[in-house]
Amino acid sequence: MSLLVVGLSHRSAPVSVLERAALSLDAQIKLLQDTVAAEPTAEAAVLATCNRIELYADVDKFHAGVAELSTLLAQHSGVGLDEITPYLYVHYEDRAVHHLFSVACGLDSMVVGEGQILGQIKDALARAQELNTAGRLLNDLFQQSLRVGKRAHSETGIDRAGQSLVTFGLEQFTTGADVEGWARGKRAVVIGAGSMSSLAAATLARAGVREIVIANRTPDRAERLAQILTEQGETDVLARAVPMESVPAELTRADVVVSCTGATGLVLTAEMVAAAVRGRVPEGAPAGPESRTDTRGDVRPVLPPTSIGSDDDCPLDLPAAQGGGFSVLGEAAVAGMDAATLEQHAAWVDNATVDRRAKSRTPERETPRTPAADAELIAALVAAVAVTGRITELRRPEPVVEVPRPAPVLALLDLAMPRDIDAAAHRLAGVRLVDIESLAEVSADAPMASDVDLVRRIVSDEVAAFGDAQRAAHITPTVVALRAMAADVVASEIARLEGRLPGLDDKHRGEINQTVRRVVDKLLHAPTVRVKQLAAEPGGAGYADALRTLFDLDQETVAAVSRAEDSDQQAAGDKYFEADAENRGRS
């Protein structure tokens, strides 16, 4: 069996595709069940976050596994196979291990170094264990990825390479200031009570917001989150839970909204947001579809030109110059333009009309313009440039008066996939919307810290160690079966000896028994130790087959040992999560 991962993420697919491919919890459960029911698959786990969907499986055939996992992803995501295939990536064996370890360390996150992915990996493993779709391989893989992620965060400064997605999103509202200074004293609404929403609420509380309102479709979870925020004792925030129906009213008092739910449709429409800011921004403030987003993300209106002249029917597509007007200057202006086009522009400036077909006319017939005529026009234009220094301008530049856009009174952070908040809300005056797509654009050019290199080395070392351990573990059931067979042989021969020598006393019987067992152990010690060493090397999987063949081991006996170890592994995984939950409770 071999490890295979098929998935798509913010690195391979546009947000619009990720948004449509998002899996609900029920869809994840059905995907896991259908995956382990497929012929080439023995184990399966799904890692589904706001910006990635990955299906991990233990398969016995590579090509059949890729085809099956891709088809299942398409079926359960609702995106057609032909459409989703160009955005899928495939990792196999060591590359699949390397990928998950990199994900766990935050190297593959939208914001490098964010630590929330560890909780999402833990949830994915717990779900696979609950549904009994994770066996030895995926239990080992996911538990080790959690250890690798924790090691990366504890041994390096990867946290400095980026912030959590929540913090990074809030920073987009601060215009260079720190989040604490920006958030202090504000009122916040958090929609959703899952892991991301809980992180957002905790982040806002630590930042010093005055009040946090939690809204969730399951009221008990909202109440629980509000209680945790109130009782944690680290902040003085006032936290309370409200039903989803109260969200529109709460928006009218809110300064910042963070939404991350599993809803498949919009939670906040543009109309709801517009109603929430009505009366909080000046009447007639610039907004609406005739607006544009500047380099800082602010929406500014596109105003009509105030200078004299108009571009209507201009035959040239002239570049706009600073100040609102434009000029055609020097030799660069005529480079690449034929004389007929320049002549037509000159005639248009003088309010004349010239046929766009740029043909000479005679009373008898029309004839195409000749190169000689073009040369004469170009010569005339060059002469004009020599005298005036430039070709006649269309209009004189005049300053364009911009109506100032009011400062945002409502900051919207949409961390859901698919989106919770209508994208049209960014056009509203007094509103600033940051969503997953805009965060992806902002973080694309974020500088990488030197600690990232250290984490990459950790990942490489851990991948090699994991591969060695898996190859060694592959032969362990065979070694155990061999020793069990040897013990049966010893027991059988001792019983036969007692039948032949019934008069042996207990002392001599014990000495003979111990001697025979010691001989067998010494004979098996060197071969079994050496075969484990060889099996840990690349290509060492064949040593288990060789051992079974040489000693004529029963395959069912080996399989029984493997199943017993899988059961022990499951129990160890349960203890791991119980201990982790207990530690979280203490903290």
156 burial level (CB within 10 Å; 0-12, 13-18, 19+): buried
From the list 50, 105, 260, 314, the catalytic residue is 50
**284 beta partners:** none
Number of H helices, E strands in the chain: 21, 14
Q: Report the C-alpha gap between 257 and 348 in whole angstroms.
A: 53
Q: What are all long-range contacts of 153-156, with beta carbons under 8 Å and residues at least 24 apart?
A: 153/105, 153/106, 153/115, 155/454, 155/458, 156/451, 156/454, 156/455, 156/458
Written as six digits, the tokens of 416 are 């859901």
CA atoms within 13 A on the CB side of 380: 11
CB 8 within 8 A of CB 430: no
Q: Which of 196, 405, 382, 370 is nearest to 284 (CA)?
A: 405
Residue whose tokens read 């403030």: 285
Q: Is 56 helix (H, G, I), strand (E, B) or coil?
A: strand
How far from chain centre, in Å, is Cα 236? 33
Q: What is the DSSP letter of 352?
A: -
DSSP string, 141-209: HHHHHHHHHHHHHHHS-GGGG---HHHHHHHTTTTTS-HHHHHTT-EEEEE--SHHHHHHHHHHHHHT-
The verdict on whether 314 is a catalytic residue reads no
Written as six digits, the tokens of 398 are 């005049």
Q: 211 phi and psi, to 5 degrees?
A: -145, 140
Q: What is the CA radius of gyration of the chain?
A: 35
For 105, other C-beta atoms within 10 Å of its C-beta total 29
Residue whose tokens read 């990635």: 52
Catalytic residues: 50
